[in-house]
Amino acid sequence: MGAKDYIRAKFFPHMWCPGCGHGTVLNGLLTAIEKLDLSKNDIVVVSGIGCSSRISGYVDFHTLHTIHGRALAFATGVKMSRPKLNIIVPMGDGDALAIGGNHFIHAARRNIDITAIVMNNRIYGMTGGQFSPLSGYGIKASTAPYYNIDHGFDVVNLAVAAGATFVARSTTYHVQQLANILCKAIQHKGFSVVEVLSQCPTYFGRKNNSGSAVEMMESYKNNTTPKGSKAKDENPDLIERGVFVQKELPEYCEEYDKIIKIAKDRS
């Protein structure tokens, strides 16, 4: 099978702008799923609202395109009610961490077996370029016409602090690393968070003079470094890529199964 066997061809062309990084994330995801040889009937993709969230419509799995920020809450219901399914939740940065921030930390805290992908383009694309909680200080956006005074979250640190048991970061430039990380994230038993830096040349790029899509991807190459590399010591501004946390802790659905056993034994 190739990537085309996992997409709903009749719903293409997709709605992403030329140069958008989200198609690369989709490709990485499908590569990972192919490598894992998962059955299409066993995968549920749950998404919220935004450019990133349209990913669910294009893939030939069970797909649930929900409301803004709440994808992880819907996904929690799907997973808890049918724990054998593989649940993948692609989200945008605003979707996951502004309106959906509360659900993000609580899903991580529960360690429910869901793979959350934060497609971080540091902007609200669908509504036309407003700043997000991942834009960062000094960035320009349509709602920060002078400059942004909000500080950004570090998704990796936030996910680790909230209790996610698999936390990783990659970019749309590092496509092989991205697919490998997504493979590990899906295989991981517990709540996995994968942040993917994904370029938005249309809004973020234009407002911040980041150049073309290719130049933005090159910046991912130049401004990131593998986790734990020497380069980071020499240049602390570099963003680390790789797997930050990977640990085994009791998974939420399995813990609830223990409750069911106790309740049944007592009744």
Could you say whether residue 206 binds other proteins (CB under 8 A)? no
Q: Indicate if the alpha-carbon torsion angle 93, 39, 166, 218 is positive or negative.
A: negative
Could you say whether residue 13 binds other proteins (CB under 8 A)? no
Could you say whether residue 238 binds other proteins (CB under 8 A)? no
Nearer to other proteins, 4 or 206 (CB): 4
Nearer to other proteins, 46 or 168 (CB): 46
Which residue of 85, 160, 238, 239 would you call a contact of other proteins, by CB under 8 A?
85
Q: Which of 30, 56, 26 is nearest to 44 (CA)?
A: 56
Q: Indicate if the alpha-carbon torsion angle 70, 73, 75, 77 is positive or negative.
A: negative
Phi and psi, residue 190, nearest 5°: 140, -175
Whether 115 contacts 185, CB under 8 Å: yes
For 236, other C-beta atoms within 10 Å of its C-beta total 6
Could you say whether residue 209 binds other proteins (CB under 8 A)? no
Task: Output the smallest distance, CB 10 to other proteins, in A.
Answer: 9
- With 0-12 / 13-18 / 19 or more C-beta atoms within 10 angstroms meaning exposed / middle / buried, residue 1 is exposed
Could you say whether residue 111 binds other proteins (CB under 8 A)? no
Looking at 63-71, 126-134, 159-167, 218-226, which segment touches other proteins (CB under 8 A)? Answer: 63-71
Whether 44 contacts 74, CB under 8 Å: no
Which residue of 17, 23, 35, 106 would you call a contact of other proteins, by CB under 8 A?
106
Could you say whether residue 245 binds other proteins (CB under 8 A)? no
Nearer to other proteins, 52 or 66 (CB): 66
Which residue of 37, 230, 237, 263 would you call a contact of other proteins, by CB under 8 A?
263
Could you say whether residue 191 binds other proteins (CB under 8 A)? no
**Site mask for other proteins (CB under 8 A), range 31-50, x = bound:** ---------xxx-x-x----
Residue 238 identity: L
Whether 139 contacts 147, CB under 8 Å: yes
Q: Which of 14, 109, 12, 107 is nearest to 69 (CA)?
A: 107
Q: Pull the structure tokens for residue 23.
A: 């198609």
* CA angle, residues 137, 139, 140, in degrees to nearest 5: 140
Could you say whether residue 57 binds other proteins (CB under 8 A)? yes
Which residues of this chain interact with other proteins, rule CB under 8 A? 8, 11, 40-42, 44, 46, 56-57, 60-67, 70, 72-82, 84-85, 102-103, 106, 256, 259-260, 262-264, 266-267
